[in-house]
C-alpha cells in the first residue's frame, strides 16, 4: 500500500493541527495494513508555502510530521516527496517548475519528479512479521 497524503489535516484546522496526532494516525493506518499482511510505503508531506492557507505554525507541524516519517517509525518504507519537489532556496515552497500555480499541488513536471523518486522495488514483499 502507498500512502501519499496532502496537508489537509494541517490546512483545515491550522491552529489545532497536532503533529503527534497526525503521526499516530499514520502509524495506526500502517498497523491496520500489517494486520492484513500488507506492507506500507509512505511519503513525506510536500511544501505548500504560497498557498493561501499556509501558516508558520502549519509549516512547523509539516516539518515535525516529516521528521517522524523520515525516522522510520511510521511506515515500512519512505519516499521523500518533500525533498524531491521543494525549492532549494525556500524549502517551504514547491520548486517553480513543480508548482501547478496554487502553491499546493504539483504540476505535471512535479508529478513526473515524484515518479522518478519512487523506487518500485519498495513495493516488493509483505508486512513485517508481528510475533
What percent of the chain stands above pLDDT 90? Answer: 79
Q: Is residue 131 predicted with pLDDT exceeding 60?
A: no
Whether 120 and 112 have beta carbons less than 8 Å apart is answered as no
Q: Is residue 113 predicted with pLDDT exceeding 70?
A: yes
Q: For residue range 36-82, what is the model confidence (pLDDT) as tens digits?
A: 999 999 999 999 999 999 999 999 999 999 999 999 989 999 999 99
Tell me the C-alpha to C-alpha distance, in Å, between residue 37 and each of 33, 72, 118, 122. 6, 19, 22, 15
Q: For residue range 64-73, what is the model confidence (pLDDT) as tens digits?
A: 999 999 999 8
* Residue 17: per-residue pLDDT: 85
The structural domains of the chain, ordered by start, are 2-123 (3.40.50.1110)
Averaged pLDDT for residues 79-94: 97
Whether 5 and 45 have beta carbons less than 8 Å apart is answered as yes
* Residue 129: per-residue pLDDT: 61
Whether 104 and 51 have beta carbons less than 8 Å apart is answered as yes
Averaged pLDDT for residues 93-112: 97
Comparing CA positions, the residue from 88, 86, 80 lying closest to residue 117 is: 80
* Residue 125: per-residue pLDDT: 86
* Residue 106: per-residue pLDDT: 97
- In eight-state DSSP terms, residue 41 is E
Amino acid at each position: 500500500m502507498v500512502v501519499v497524503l496532502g496537508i489537509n489535516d494541517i490546512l483545515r484546522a491550522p491552529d489545532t493541527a497536532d503533529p503527534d496526532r497526525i503521526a499516530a494516525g499514520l502509524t495506526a493506518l500502517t498497523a491496520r495494513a500489517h494486520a492484513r499482511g500488507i506492507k506500507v510505503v509512505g511519503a513525506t508531506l510536500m511544501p505548500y508555502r504560497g498557498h493561501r492557507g499556509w501558516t508558520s505554525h502549519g509549516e512547523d507541524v509539516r516539518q515535525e510530521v516529516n521528521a517522524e516519517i523520515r525516522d522510520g517509525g511510521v511506515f515500512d518504507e519512505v519516499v521523500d516527496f518533500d525533498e524531491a519537489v521543494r525549492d532549494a532556496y525556500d524549502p517551504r515552497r514547491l520548486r517553480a517548475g513543480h508548482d501547478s500555480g496554487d502553491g499546493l499541488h504539483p504540476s505535471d513536471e512535479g508529478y513526473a519528479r515524484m515518479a522518478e523518486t519512487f523506487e518500485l522495488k519498495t513495493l516488493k514483499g509483505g508486512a513485517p512479521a508481528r510475533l
